Structure 1
Amino acid sequence: MVTETVAENARHAVAVDDLHVSMTDLQQELRQFEEPLNTLPPVNSLPDELLAEIFAFVQAAHRSKGERPHSWLNVVQVCRRWSQVAHSTASLWTTIEVCGRPEWLSRCLVLSRGMLVDIEICDWHDRLFNPQILLPILQPHHVRVIRSLTMIGIGWISVLSQLLKMGMCSLEKLQLRYTQWPCFFELDTIDVRSLPRLHTLSISGIEAPSASSTYKDLRVLELRKFLWQSVTFDRFLNFLQAASGLRKLTLDDCEFRSTASGKKPQKRSPVYLRKLVSLDITTSHSFRSSEILWMLRAPKATSVNIQLIGCSPYNSIFGLLPEDPATCLPLLATATVAELYVREGTCEIIATHGSRSIRLALLHLGSSLEKYLERGMADMTRIFSAAPVTRIVIAGNHHDTTSLIDWALLFESSPLLEELVVAGSGQRVEEMWEGLGYAQPPGGQAVDICCPRLRSVTITGKEDIGAIDATEKLFDAMLAALTHRQERGCKLGELRLDLRHWGFPYAQCHGRYYENLSKVVDHVTYSDSDADNH
């Protein structure tokens, strides 16, 4: 019995020693974490100035997530000191959103301590709330510090008129939005003499003022979704002609009053917006699109976005443009990159030259995608026929709609082509290779090669469209076209393939074609886009 007790005590002693060793190791590991943390000062010990900067960062993070501007207040309610720092930092209270009764507006105006403020007044649903109650709060000394004013709804129209008469000398940006349709309200004339700093006007769903003086000194003008019953398109052009400093113009589905019955439209020269940097136009009237594009010229614009809503399944982008698109959109004649994307009822063509770009998009609501790729390629061929295009991207469903003739015409119109990217889904990409071999350079002989500068070709799937299938026809056409080019001194420099191997196993395809492709291409990258699903 004594012997067993001694042995058991010995085992316990060993176990205790092991536990001490483990405890020592854990304490040492804990110190490795604690020492770096202890070198950093805790938030509570930071000076008020840095704490205010942290609050500003948290506030900006909440706004970037689309949350209410005052959602960050949960942070400053942690303790009394944090609350004091926040309430004494005027810059934290300069963005004010009013969604109901105006007590919040009054409090923020006091806490902002005379700094310029940005106010957004949402459409209220409280029938007992009288919009006129805002006026006593926004007394002249508060009106003068409003830098940006956004009003949503129509209950505030009478309030806005009275505010503007008070002299909003600091107002730079005015946004008015009404989301219901139709709306028959028209804004009164905005006296720009009382708004010397106003440079941005954004109106949506409400008829804009019809006085030309409203737009003379603007730098940004955004007009969306309303019928301008008192202004014709010709008169609107006069407004723009007077707005010589305009930098950004957005016209989103705006309708203008028609000319008088029996009266012929006045012939006039196009309006040149020489300082315009950004032009964004969306229209659902195909007969109006070509007129708008022909009459508005922005020779220095770096970003042009034209979105057309097709009324017929037979519409095409080129058919909705003026007769000579490059005249009104000069970048189409100088573009070095041409891209075509066909997906989800949308066909879009993007032209790029350096930092400047033009996006032409056609929306076919409720139509199938069957002929989109074919029409899009035909549009590209015509639009970029005189452009020095060196890179082409074609993304869409490559099924039975395109032929080698479509591809051949595209290649023949792009003699300077250096890089080609074909993305999307489908099983008929071999038509591209057949078209490349079939195409002839303009005025060339049978022995000449089309696109002699072509050095890189990429065929890959696209996440929002699908994957391109590997087939024997594709590889046979690819090998034939590349061999043909190599024999004529135009060996391809790089070939990147990312294909889906459903009916044609990757190992079999790689073993049969990879070695032969490597003989006619300097560098081949070959991968299986569906490898994870095998």
Structure 2
Amino acid sequence: MALRNTSTAVELAGAVFNEDFSKSHAESLAARSRNERITAILARQRRLEQELAEVKRLLNGEALVNTLPEELLAEVFYYIGRYSTPMAEGPDARDWSVVRLVCHHWDTVIYTTPRFWRRIRVQRSMRWLALCLSRSHNATVSISYNFRTYPTFPSPDCHLSEVLIPHIARVYALQILGFDAHRARLTSNLWQSMPSLRELSLRRESIGTKVTSLCILPATLSRLQVLSICCPVDIQGIDQCRELRKLTLQHIPASSLDSLIVLLSTNRSIREVDVRDDKRSDEMPITMPAHTDDTVILPELRILRLVTSSRTLASAILRRYRFPAATEIKITLKARGLRLRASGAQFLHAILLPEMLSFDMIFPMFRRTTDLVLFCDHDDASLLATGTGYRMSIAIVDIGSAVSQVPLADILKMLPAAPVSTVSIDASFADYPHDLYQPLWEAFFAATPHLETLALTGCGADECVWNGLLNTSIAARNMANQCCPRLHTVSVDDELISPPYLLRDVVSSMIEALRYRNERGLRLARLEFQVQDEDRDSNGAEAEKQYSQVLGGLVGGLSFFVFK
């Protein structure tokens, strides 16, 4: 009995052992299978990563610079040193000296590539000029002679012509720095036979000496595209040019301006004109020859800058020419000393053409204008118009003058047709009768219904300004209208120099005008008042405090400052 029980226990224990062993073996097999699958997955991942890396290498592989074809290598070098400057002011072969010193291969590439030798800057070395001309092969070249550093070069017996003449047909651009009568004689024979010349520049930095050199442009230069003459040169033959794209004339004698009208008429594709006549004449205007009054349209012109003492020239250009694509038109008239002040409105008349009935008639060429600036002082009067919009919408008017009533009287004629929102007037006082000056301000406020910001420098601390605003507001009220309903900011920066322009009188006029407008719901959001009062004394401090308190209650924000 006991033996049987023992045998049964052994059998049971064996069965349990067999069961545990089978379970452990199955788990081991499962773990091994799982590990094998993980190993296979990781191996596949590594293969995919290697394949991806190879794809990236093939797609983004960076070849060594020296393995590039010489044509691409030359393109890289040229891009590094490429300049966008006009004429021959860009880099010549010497500008790649750092690249050439890297290795023999790079030096050879630059040495054997003609495009690196097309821009040639010459100071005194004829050997350098000959070397560049030789290595440029048959490519067109741009040559810049810098005679400023070596005033005695070239001498009359130099070999400049001998070196250049065999290559004369390849010259595309020619610049002469330090141009004078000597260089004019030396080079006049050179450009007689330059059929490929498209850019010509003659410059002289120092124009202290007003000696005029004669410059005759031959008929062979009729295909010039860029002409820049910045020195006292009497230009003859300029009216033969028919394909100009850019014209710059500075410091030239008045006689050379006579050809400008004809020149503009024959170059309909011109894009930029910059003409500056520095002569100031007491006898205005300089007489211009009679020309036809036919309207000329310059459809490609973007920029026109004219500085001259000739009212006739400025007026002729404004009247005759139309610039539908212009983005900047600036006309500056030069006068001498107080001549402008004496001329007054007649001087600005040449610019503003006030006999026209509307703004569009005054400036029919400014179709793309959005910003107008008028400036006038003792010496200059200028008009600048810029913008990008298709239809003209004047938003800013900036007036500067030695005497505010001078430009104000003229500009009033065009304000009603222009939605002006900001006006800045920088002017000074004159001993001008109130009965004449105040109506100007009344007309000004009546002509600016869109006015939002008014900045007055040198003329804001004047009773006429504020009385003009008050009277215009009253007149508008009587007509069931509002005067300057959008006006929200006024700034005054002025100097009270003598009676009757006393602070008390000015502030009283301000308070009366602001109070009346507040009663009509036309409250200012901001008033900035800064003046210098030479008559100010210690007793004025208390009065200024009272002024500040009263004004502060009439506007949204106040900056009130008086100093001596």
TM class by smaller structure = 0.5 to 0.7
- SS of 1:314's partner is helix
Contact 1:495 1:521 in 2 (8 A): yes
Find out whether 1:396 has 2:422 as its counterpart: no
Change (3 A) 1:432 1:99: farther
- SS of 1:478's partner is helix
Structure 2 Cα separation of the partners of residues 149 and 279 of structure 1: 23
Pick one of 348, 357, 360 that aligns with 1:318: 348
After TM superposition, the structure 1 = structure 2 runs for residues 72-471 of structure 1, keeping only pairs within 5 Å, are 98=122, 102=126, 105=129, 117=142, 119-122=144-147, 125-126=151-152, 129-130=155-156, 133-138=159-164, 140-141=166-167, 144=170, 146-151=172-177, 152-167=179-194, 169=196, 171-177=197-203, 179=207, 180-181=209-210, 183=212, 185-192=214-221, 198-204=224-230, 205-210=232-237, 212=239, 214-226=240-252, 237-253=261-277, 265=290, 267-310=292-335, 312=339, 313-316=341-344, 317-321=347-351, 322=353, 324=355, 326=359, 327=361, 329-330=363-364, 339-343=373-377, 345-348=379-382, 350=384, 372-398=403-429, 400-401=431-432, 403-423=437-457, 425=458, 428-439=461-472, 445=478, 448-460=481-493, 471=503
- SS of 1:318's partner is helix
Change (3 A) 1:351 1:158: closer
Structure 1 Cα separation of the partners of residues 368 and 478 of structure 2: 27
Structure 2 Cα separation of the partners of residues 475 and 86 of structure 1: 78
Measured after TM superposition, the shift of residue 129 of structure 1 is: 1.1
Measured after TM superposition, the shift of residue 203 of structure 1 is: 2.7
Q: Normalising to structure 2: TM-score of the pair?
A: 0.62
Find the structure with the greater CA-based Rg: 2
Structure 2 Cα separation of the partners of residues 431 and 69 of structure 1: 58
Contact 1:302 1:357 in 2 (8 A): no
Please state which structure has a larger fraction of its residues in helix.
Answer: 2
Q: Normalising to structure 1: TM-score of the pair?
A: 0.65
Change (3 A) 1:347 1:508: farther
Change (3 A) 1:430 1:93: farther
- SS of 2:316's partner is helix
Q: 1:190-249 CA distances to partner (integer Å, 9 max, x unpaired)?
A: 4147x5xx421123432334364x4211111223454586x995x754443331211112
Change (3 A) 1:242 1:148: same
Q: Give the CA RMSD over aligned residues.
A: 5.3
Measured after TM superposition, the shift of residue 420 of structure 1 is: 0.9
Stretches of structure 1 that go unaligned for 5 or more consecutive residues are 1-46, 260-264, 364-368, 463-468
Match for 1:520: what amino acid? Answer: L
Q: 1:313-336 CA distances to partner (integer Å, 9 max, x unpaired)?
A: 421343334454653523779976
Q: 1:351-409 CA distances to partner (integer Å, 9 max, x unpaired)?
A: 5666789999999xxxxx8x632212112212434222121110122464483333222
Q: 1:272-305 CA distances to partner (integer Å, 9 max, x unpaired)?
A: 2222111122332334442343223323322111
Measured after TM superposition, the shift of residue 122 of structure 1 is: 3.0
Q: Which residue of 1 aligns with 2:504?
A: 472
- SS of 2:404's partner is helix
Q: 1:256-286 CA distances to partner (integer Å, 9 max, x unpaired)?
A: 9966xxxxx5653122222211112233233
Structure 1 Cα separation of the partners of residues 438 and 367 of structure 2: 25
Stretches of structure 2 that go unaligned for 5 or more consecutive residues are 1-64, 67-72, 280-284, 496-500
Contact 2:327 2:388 in 1 (8 A): no
Count of aligned pairs:
453
Match for 1:208: what amino acid? Answer: I
Structure 2 Cα separation of the partners of residues 507 and 109 of structure 1: 79
Structure 2 Cα separation of the partners of residues 105 and 529 of structure 1: 68
Structure 1 Cα separation of the partners of residues 482 and 393 of structure 2: 30
Structure 2 Cα separation of the partners of residues 319 and 516 of structure 1: 43
Structure 1 Cα separation of the partners of residues 217 and 304 of structure 2: 26
Change (3 A) 1:318 1:398: same
Measured after TM superposition, the shift of residue 514 of structure 1 is: 3.7
Contact 1:422 1:460 in 2 (8 A): yes
- Answer with 436-445 or 384-393: which moved more: 436-445
Percent identity, aligned pairs only, is 20
Match for 2:552: what amino acid? Answer: S
